[in-house]
Amino acid sequence: MELYLYIALFSPLVGSLFAALFAASPKSLIAGVVPSLLLFTSFVASTILLVNILSGGDIVHVEMMTWIATGNLYIPFGFVVDQVSITMMMVVTVVSTVVHVYSIGYMDHDKSFNRFFAWLSAFVFSMMILVMSDNFAGLFIGWEGVGLCSWGLIGFWYHKESATWAANEAFIMNRIADLGMLIGIFLVYWNTGTLQYDEAFAVMPALNSEILTWMGIFLFVGAMGKSAQFPLHTWLADAMEGPTPVSALIHAATMVTAGVYLVVRANPLYDLIPHVGLFIASLGAFVALFAASMALVNRDMKRIIAYSTLSQLGYMFVAAGLGAYWVALFHLMAHAFFKALLFLGAGNVMHAMHDELDPFKMGGLKKPLKWTFIMMTLASVALAGIYPFAGFFSKDLILEVSLIEHHYIIYSVLLFTAGLTAFYSFRLVALIFHGEERYKLFGIDPHEAYKFVLIAMSPLLILAIIAGSFKMTYFEMVTAVLPATQYHVHSVVTYWIMTIGTQLFVLLAIAFAYKKYANNRITVPNGTSKMENRLCYKILSNQYYIPYVYEEYISKPYRELSEVFWKHVDMKVVDASVDGIANIIYSTGEKTRTMQSGNLSTMLKWMVAGTVALLSLAVVFGLAVRYSDEIKLIFSGLGVQ
């Protein structure tokens, strides 16, 4: 099994390096095909490892080599395939393989086709390191790796100022959060003497609760940045500047799920500090509602789906914060399939609409984009949590957890958010695929995506439909390493009332969205002109003015302060001092270079001057020796020793 571990881990790296060989060359199809095949190889190896786990085989734990060994610090390049990591490996490899194949068609006409696949496979490799490492240091390497690759992919079209700005925003905001995570890792080592998961978690029950609290808080700060939790959330929607396959990968299977994975992996720590867990759950519930509200009025197709991701991450953190770690991981897995499908479907729509993102300028696309319409509609059904799709089983479980744990406010917030999710999801579907063919006003002739692209998307569609049916098998597998709490409402009547009530609420939200947007005449381009003057609409469309606050009260003052320091400290003090020293040395050299001119007259003058100086020193030294006693008396009289 060790061989399959290495194949699963390093196949994406080989694919990235292969594509990088062609990075500066014109488009070569092989630069996309080979990395895609290697990703599929990684998926096959991960599947073999999954079968081994399901059949009762041992956890695969390897130590490839020693990384750091100094004093009491020992950190190996170690990797583990257990029930938690194999779940993430399967999610990452399935979605990544689909995204790679999809990208061959999506990036077909891009001049940087080869470079794109080099970055994309490196992104997957970094995520595999993150989820497979057996220690916090290895996790942090993968953590920073996905941060770097996300910067390269979000800003892939670097000739666009908006893309480079978004890439820098994501990178900087994550670096701020990663400082907190690094402090948390230092606290783990300082108090446990190790960074190995099993060894560190074994020591933690004996530690002071205050120390454990700070560990949990600082580690979660890192998770907040990577999973874009408030107030470090603004980069997530702006990351839509990257190519759509990147959005699918970041938002479904990799980067943003890393924060949830960290909390799940560190479950022995968070079990010891339930008050921190309650904060995580409360923040998650807030973010779920907060993000869903912004999706209600947004007019950018990809941003709506991005806000949906942010909202669903809130659901996952609610489950993890309340100790239902396996439920959080289950929703992470189910969500990855239908959210990746939504993003890839949005990519098809963008290509058909010549990169148009405003759904109010679309409409009636269900005829020319028949298969994309079916896939996005079914993915939206799964996202809304309609039975028997995957989203129903995972999201319904989170609602049950919050109810069973008597967190009624959290339950109410999540239930209301479920209705909002259904509304904005089908608002998007209605605006894009139903109603008038508004795209004709812009002279657009839409067309369906390549057949192989649609075929590549089909596994995600199948999994979005059936993944929930594997709940019990998944529960039995993953609870070998996670708390095995079953969450069921004790009263059957209460359970059915809750379930049917939730389903009716969601269906009413869908019906309302269709009634409002599917058949009504919508003015182009001011599709929501009646709403735009209302205060609530302005607040939501401007993201609660949080980006404005960041810009005006953090970024702008920081730039102004930096300019002051640059002009008055850097230029007038630091640079002036360095330049002054350099000028003195230079002018001294200029004046004394005549010594080496080779002119006999000049050299004789310097010889005389040197002789006079040496004789003067000799006379002074001789007088000092001759009158040393008198000199000592003079200094002693002055009180100098």
DSSP assignment string, 345-360: HHHHHHHHTTT---GG
| The two structure tokens encoding residue 355 | 């990169």
Question: What is the DSSP secondary structure assignment for residue 133, as one 8-state letter?
Answer: B
Q: Residue 525, preceding bond cis, omega within 30 degrees?
A: yes
Q: Is the pLDDT of residue 379 over 90?
A: yes
Q: What are 546-585's pLDDT values in tens digits?
A: 999 999 998 899 999 999 999 888 898 898 899 899 999 9
Question: What is the DSSP secondary structure assignment for residue 156, as one 8-state letter?
Answer: S
Counting Cα atoms < 13 Å in the Cβ hemisphere of 585 gives: 6
Rounded mean pLDDT of 432-440?
85
Round to whole Å and give the CA distance between 108 and 325. Answer: 40
Q: Is the pLDDT of residue 4 over 90?
A: yes
Round to whole Å and give the CA distance between 327 and 284. Answer: 14
- Cα 247 off chain centre by: 11
Beta carbons within 10 angstroms of residue 63's beta carbon: 12
Q: Is 69 helix (H, G, I), strand (E, B) or coil?
A: strand
Q: Is the pLDDT of residue 527 over 60?
A: no
Sequence-ordered list of residues with C-beta below 8 angstroms from that of 197, at least 6 positions apart, any chain: 80, 134, 135, 136, 265
Beta carbons within 10 angstroms of residue 442's beta carbon: 13
Round to whole Å and give the CA distance between 491 and 494. Answer: 5
Q: Is the pLDDT of residue 110 over 90?
A: no
Round to whole Å and give the CA distance between 634 and 614. Answer: 27
In 3-state terms the chain splits into helix, strand, coil percentages (rounded to 5) of 75, 5, 20
| The two structure tokens encoding residue 607 | 């010889």
Can you give the pLDDT at residue 640? 53
Can you give the pLDDT at residue 609? 85
107 neighbors 98 (Cβ within 8 angstroms): no
Can you give the pLDDT at residue 199? 92
Can you give the pLDDT at residue 610? 85
Query: How far apart, in Å, are the Cα atoms of 610 and each of 163, 197, 587, 595, 604?
Result: 67, 73, 21, 11, 10
Round to whole Å and give the CA distance between 1 and 641. Answer: 80
Q: Is the pLDDT of residue 42 over 80?
A: yes
Beta carbons within 10 angstroms of residue 379's beta carbon: 30
- Greater pLDDT, 592 or 313: 313
Question: Tokens 């490899």 correspond to what residue?
Answer: 93
- Cα 207 off chain centre by: 31
Phi first, then psi, for residue 545 (nearest 5°) are 60, 20
- Cα 322 off chain centre by: 23
Question: Tokens 């041992």 correspond to what residue?
Answer: 58
Q: Residue 243, preceding bond cis, omega within 30 degrees?
A: no
Query: How far apart, in Å, are the Cα atoms of 104 and each of 37, 339, 369, 540?
Result: 12, 20, 19, 36
Counting Cα atoms < 13 Å in the Cβ hemisphere of 456 gives: 25
Round to whole Å and give the CA distance between 14 and 206. Answer: 43
Q: Which of 253-257, 531-535, 624-628 has the highest mean pLDDT?
A: 253-257
| The two structure tokens encoding residue 572 | 């007038």
Question: Tokens 């059949």 correspond to what residue?
Answer: 55
Name the pLDDT band for 316 (thresholds 50, 70, 90).
Answer: very high
Round to whole Å and give the CA distance between 154 and 164. Answer: 8
Can you give the pLDDT at residue 132? 94
- Greater pLDDT, 306 or 602: 306
Mean pLDDT of all residues belonging to the chain: 89
Q: Is the pLDDT of residue 530 over 60?
A: no
| The two structure tokens encoding residue 434 | 């139903």
> What residues pair up with 196 in beta bridges, in sequence order?
135
Can you give the pLDDT at residue 66? 87
Round to whole Å and give the CA distance between 436 and 448. Answer: 18
